Structure 1
Amino acid sequence: MIKCEHPQHKTKPKYICKESDGCSERRNPGVQHEWMENGDVSLYDDTRAGVLMVFFRELKAADAGTYRCGVNVSHYTESFTELQLNVKHDAKYPKSVTESAHLGEEVNITCQIPEEHEVHFCKEDDNNICQNISSSKVTQMNGSSERNEERVFTVIISNVSVRDAGVYWCGAETRDTYLTFISLNTKVQLNFT
């Protein structure tokens, strides 16, 4: 996921495009405050925060390249930030894990990330969009998130209920001035036994 911030142009239409394609296909949500699918990409224009969220599903090598994340300031003017998207698989991180739990018990979900990044943990919603649940700064679920030198963190979900079942993702978050990159590297399927 990529978050492009345009705080000075919160309500203006935002877009993302690939420069190697000459930016011929500008993807924009078309609506505000609602996830919109555009091929294998989902987009969300948050005008309250001035942020365009771009969620790539099933990244492929062909998705790599230079992108523009921009905003149409006026009919003749735009403002954009260039970003480089690299697609690579790191074999030291498992792609998929299945965890089982009993209702009312506690489940520990353990993930690895590169040490220099912040932790990102999210759960897929009905639209297959990964909604933030916890980061190394904020915990929004019943549980805790820990980080240590071994680049491992554990999310503990206590008193597991039916609504906790589903697909979670572990990943790393990198921030720049107006860009946030979230790389989701491990899929965790939580089932009940």
Structure 2
Amino acid sequence: MWSIQNLLFIFCISLRCLTSAVGMIHVTGYVGREVNVSCSYEQSYVSHEKYLCKNDCGNSDVLITTSQASKTKYSIYDDTSARIFTTTIFDLQYTDAGKYWCGVTKTGTDIYTEVKLKLVQDRCCDTVTKVQSYEGHSESVSCRYESQYQNSLKYICRGNRPSTCLQQALITSDTKQNARFRLDDDKVLGTFTVTISNLTRNDSGSYLCGVHRNSELDVFSAVELKIEEWCCVKSTKINGTAGHPLTLQCPYPPQHWDNRKFLCKGDHRNNCSDMVTSRSRFTLQDDAASSSFTVRITELEAADGGTYWCGSDSQWRVGNYTKIELSVFLQHTRKIPDAALYVLYTVPPVLLLMCLLVTVYKNRSSRVNEADDTMSRNTPKEKNIEEVMGAAESGIYKNQEVVMTYVQQKVCKDGGGDEGVYEIMTAVATEDIYCNENFHKANRR
């Protein structure tokens, strides 16, 4: 028969097991980060002190209590409404891994809940899915998950640090759409897909697909996205003349013989306008035998200059289009030489001035002749006058020849200048006028 002492021993052992190991809590944390250890308790212990301890949970093993609030490495918070107290351990190191106890102080033996803490590196993952795309394109990233996580929160973030991924998520299954990012969850296939539109080179890098789990670390899969420059299989520069026709040549892959061919204009293919359907001056002719098509512009206009894209793939995949830089010039006009301009603009005034001098001289000569007839001067004097007048007229014509010769030399030699020509003409004209005036004054005496 069992003695009373044996029965009491068994009873005490059973009671300790019930009070000290209500349940095992498994917690996993990332090295260098923090982790939360949450433990629940009954309503009757709301006002009791709670604490976290390690190893055998002796007095020296107590790490923090609710009466201490916080320490450098630990903090504790008691949510009495939810009857859960949570201890946070900061700056985790591998030495922090091991067994802990959540304790509730009471009369007699305290209530304990065992906690198992496991630490892992804050990185992911051993397997990486690589995705390549191009600038301006849209790309979809598919992330698989297990069937038990159908209703769990899904998300994606940049980088490879699982500890901060959810806080820095670009989009989650709750929001579904966020700017350039869209998330679609196919629960039947167990796959959620994130689509990124209008890609740029800055979108290149590491991404993590995450599935949230309440009691354990989230599940992740890694993706490496590489965005390459959207560039041409062929790029060419063409010159044309306004008012003349021009033909553009566009090759395409042989397998696209049945695709719709197009030519559009714009600085980038995302904002280019179809020219063949909207412009009657543009006509397209396909030659499947040579795997190319031509676009003829019947009469170029100055506004036709710019960047064109021709291809046979509406999806704008690399290698299926041609970039054309078209420059349009106006028709060539002959430029008048500078020397000719000087002759054109300076000679007529010179001729006009010479005509004016000759007219003044003839008028004055007529008056002198009339005066001589009425006064009946002697013949020698008249002869002298005629000689003087002949000499004057000869001088004027000689001056005219000198002026014209100077102008021609000035123009032919160095282009001359308007100021130089006018200075010479003014000097000559003034001298001739003064000479004529002196001549007439002498005859009046």
Larger RCO: 1 or 2 (CA < 8 Å, sep 6+): 1
Greater per-residue strand proportion: 1
Q: In terms of Rg, which structure is larger?
A: 2
TM-score normalised by the shorter chain: which range applies? 0.3 to 0.5
Name the structure where helix makes up a greater proportion of residues.
2
Length-normalised TM-score, structure 1: 0.48
